[in-house]
Amino acid sequence: MNKKRTVKPKALKPSNRLFLVVADDSKELHQALYYAARRAATAGGEIALFRCIEPVEGQLWGGVSEIMEAETEQASKTLLEELSNYCEKLGAPKPRTFVRKGTVHEELFNLIDSEESIRVLVLGVSTEHGNPGPLINYIINKGSNECRVPITIVPGNLSDEQIDALI
């Protein structure tokens, strides 16, 4: 009789639970970030903020595109610092931050694959466009097979109090 060896998965320490939030310029970022920060604070987890700098489209003179890229990088760092401070005010530990250059969905999945501590991707649903938003559309239509972690989708119309009631 062939006995298969059963391997128990390693128990995760609470601090190993990393909730990843895409730090973009959408209005629904607030709901995703609030949910993730409160969840991390109550579950002993951590937050990771991901910001993607997409390539400048069109042909610009070298100096102009370099200036635009530098300005975008600085604005991204400023945004991530503001969001980190907000998470700390909500009781979460200081978030880890990741800035990547490229296409958002490609870099997002590359980050998830390379950072084993990421356990949940938290996204907010758009209330403005009549659809959930481009990233959620991508994940639903193409990316669901690419993502190795559960995805929490937070409705963009929830208030902070409603989110607190869910946690």
pLDDT at 134: 83
Q: Indicate the domain borders of the chain.
A: 14-166
From first to last of the 167 residues of the chain, give the pLDDT tens digit. 444 433 333 444 444 689 999 999 888 999 999 999 999 999 999 999 999 998 876 656 667 777 888 888 999 999 999 999 999 999 999 999 999 999 998 999 999 999 999 999 999 998 876 788 888 888 887 766 778 899 999 999 999 999 999 98
User: Between vectors from CA 149 to CA 17 and to CA 123, what angle results, nearest 5°?
Assistant: 85
Q: Distance (Å, rounded) from C-alpha 76 to C-alpha 73? A: 5
For residue 74, which amino acid is it? Q
Does the pTM of the predicted model rise above 0.85? no
Task: For domain 14-166, give the fold.
Answer: Rossmann fold (3.40.50)
